[in-house]
Structure 1
Amino acid sequence: MKVLVMGGSGFLGRAVVETALAQGHEVTTFNRGRSGADVPGVEAVRGDREAPADLARLAEGRSWDVVVDTSGYVPRVVGESVRMLSGRAATYAFVSSVSAVDGFPAKPAVEEAPGWACAPDAGPDDGDYGVLKAGCERAVEQGFDGSALIVRPGVILGPHEDVARLPWWLTRISRGGRVLAPGDPSAPLQLVDARDVASFTLDQAARGASGDFLVTGPAGETTYGSWLAACVSATGSGAELVWVDDAFLVEREAGAFVELPLWSPPSEIRDHFWSVPTAKAEAAGLRTRPVAETVHDTWAWLREIPEDKRTYGKTNRHGMDAEKEAAILAAWDARSA
């Protein structure tokens, strides 16, 4: 199969490229060459997807079986790629997000639910991340002459993660000592490895599948406690996890999701976030690896990067400052005493 990856050097895009090459596919990537090195074995085409001349140069004289778009965030921009590549491939696979589902996470995600209201030609200021992803989906579905495959992942982790939620936790835990562990260790999480998203997307594209799929790990697959325990095990640091009550953290203005990655206090929204249905994707062949394997492989990648060279998020810097962590732990100790 001939595969074009829009992106291909960053986190999920890189996983798609590496998986496609391992499966024996012929891979072309299209990116600006700024996010990372190309995976050896690809045909790398340099260009900006917002530049029509660059898109035209990409399309000229080339065709593929599938386009996998891992770098689309603005409907108007995605629409230009779709128009230029329509007729050049049989399937356009767009990696969206569960956040595109109308009403999520205030309402639970529903399989085959419509996306938020957003025009297929919307610009970058016409909505937030989830709304714009829904507009991107419409740009693909309405503009591509062929199969439109929409993949809506949940929280993606794994090697090369540039959102840096798991990398921050691994780095903090690798230092050892007493580590602030937030909330209830039995609180559920629902996570998926980028490599499993990549495999599912490519498998569906090879079958000529269309429609939308919610893609994440099965509900109840792991807990926050198991996840952090896997970090302790992978790093071999012997760190002591000190579980601090949700309400206590809220009182001390501990930041949900960003300052303490993937933690938030109990709420209906949290329940919805970690209970995304995946029956349709599983019936179509979705298989996900154990979370502990993802943690282990991410640490194997991360530990080769000097700690002072690690970054903790492209958009938001993830992680709590050491001084604040120490202050909260001291206050927690004093209350317990």
Structure 2
Amino acid sequence: MDTALVIGGTRFIGRHLVAELLDHGYDVTLLTRGNRENPYADDDRVDHVEGDRTNETVLEAAATTVDPDAVFDCVVYHPSDVRAATRIFDDSEAYVYVSSGAAYGREEIPKREGETPLETCTAEQAVDDTFETYGNRKAEGDRAAFAAAEDGVRAMVVRPPIVYGPHDYTERLDWWIDRVNRFDRILVPGDGTNLRHRVYVADVASALRLVAERGAAGEAYNVGDRRLVTLAEMIELIAESLGNVADSPTEHANGEQSEPRAGDVELVHAGPRELAAGGLELDDYPLYRTYPHVLSTAKLAALGWESTPLVEAMDRTVEDHLESDRNGDEIGPDREAEERVLGILETF
């Protein structure tokens, strides 16, 4: 395969996927609405088609003008869009749909492709736009891709859990990096053994390419860090990475410079009762999940995929965080509420 169409390639997963494809010799075309800055605008190896991927006429025009060998669908949130794309690009050598670990409908450890049941999806859920139906819609998109494969389309599915890394607009990990970088005492929800599978974004990109090149039609592939860490271990990993990049000051997006804070942090654990003193709950914390969420990645590894070592992945993530103005303030507890909890815990 020589040519690729990336539907959504300027923000996060798609942005890293474009870099991965370029590194492996592909000619790449982006299909985006043009609402965000295109990091590849000055790269003559990357073409750009502007349009809304939910408009079938736009997809049909892209199929005709680009005629891609591989199609990577990174921004599809409704099963009807998967059905349209697999029909329109039915003669491509590969169609890869970016699904989610949220598509699984049963709590199992680990969740395996073809074994763990998927979420159900009603007709009403299929057209909904709320977060509550996200997993249902992703699961129905999986089934749409599988149905296309039965009709002869080389359609495949990749299921990542929480994705982290440079340019992560969700700021979920940024909230924790900011906490560790600014404070010596870190309030940890629960006992710190919370386990929620994550995956480095560059590894998602390499998985998408490998599945397009080597995957089997009608199959799904989980992608996630090959070594998992608990929430407490993740915080310690962040502290280690801050120490790794502490030798040089960082220039932020606003032009200011700061020195990364290096050193050990004290983890202070708080259960529901203690958190309530600050008006907080366990689920207020980014990346917290009561029941472990773990995906088996053996099937993807069998294609020759490998994940980036955790320290290396976190170092790159921390470096990008320090160069950005992201701090996750909008998605996690404020420090004043945490200080109230920490003050009470000091009296015990």
- Per the normalisation by structure 2, the TM-score is 0.82
- Shifted more, 317-326 versus 32-41: the winner is 32-41
Q: How many Å apart are 1:168 and its aligned residue? A: 1.4
SS in 2 for 1:284: coil
Q: Which residue of 1 aligns with 2:62?
A: 58
SS in 1 for 2:323: coil
Distance 1:35 1:18, change over 3 A: same
SS in 1 for 2:158: strand
Matches within 5 A, 1:1-337: 1-39=2-40, 40=43, 41-87=45-91, 89-101=92-104, 103-105=105-107, 109-113=111-115, 114-118=117-121, 122-124=126-128, 128-143=133-148, 145-210=152-217, 211-218=219-226, 221-236=228-243, 237=261, 238=263, 240-249=265-274, 251-252=276-277, 254-257=280-283, 259-265=284-290, 270-271=291-292, 273=293, 275-305=294-324, 307=325, 310=326, 312=328, 317-334=330-347, 336=348
Contact 1:176 1:239 in 2 (8 A): no
Distance 2:137 2:11 in 1: 20
Distance 1:290 1:86 in 2: 37
Per-residue CA deviation, residues 105-160 of structure 1 (Å, 9 max, x unaligned), is: 37862321353233799322597011000111222232464211111112211111
Per-residue CA deviation, residues 161-206 of structure 1 (Å, 9 max, x unaligned), is: 1221111111222223322233324444432111111112201211
Distance 1:254 1:283, change over 3 A: farther
Per-residue CA deviation, residues 26-77 of structure 1 (Å, 9 max, x unaligned), is: 1111011224423333111111012233223222232122111111111122
Q: How many Å apart are 1:280 and its aligned residue? A: 1.7
Distance 1:325 1:250 in 2: 8
Q: How many Å apart are 1:18 and its aligned residue? A: 0.9
Distance 1:217 1:118 in 2: 28
- Per the normalisation by structure 1, the TM-score is 0.85
Distance 1:10 1:106, change over 3 A: same
Unaligned runs of 5+ in 2: 244-260
Distance 1:191 1:68 in 2: 21
Contact 1:158 1:193 in 2 (8 A): yes
C-alpha RMSD of matched pairs (Å):
2.6
Distance 1:83 1:264 in 2: 37
Contact 2:210 2:303 in 1 (8 A): no
Distance 1:226 1:73 in 2: 32
AA in 1 matched with 2:94? T
Distance 1:323 1:166 in 2: 20
SS in 1 for 2:65: coil
Distance 1:60 1:311, change over 3 A: farther
SS in 2 for 1:150: strand
Identity between Structure 1 and Structure 2 (%): 29
Distance 1:48 1:277, change over 3 A: same
AA in 1 matched with 2:222? L
Contact 1:79 1:120 in 2 (8 A): no
SS in 2 for 1:60: helix
Unaligned runs of 5+ in 1: none
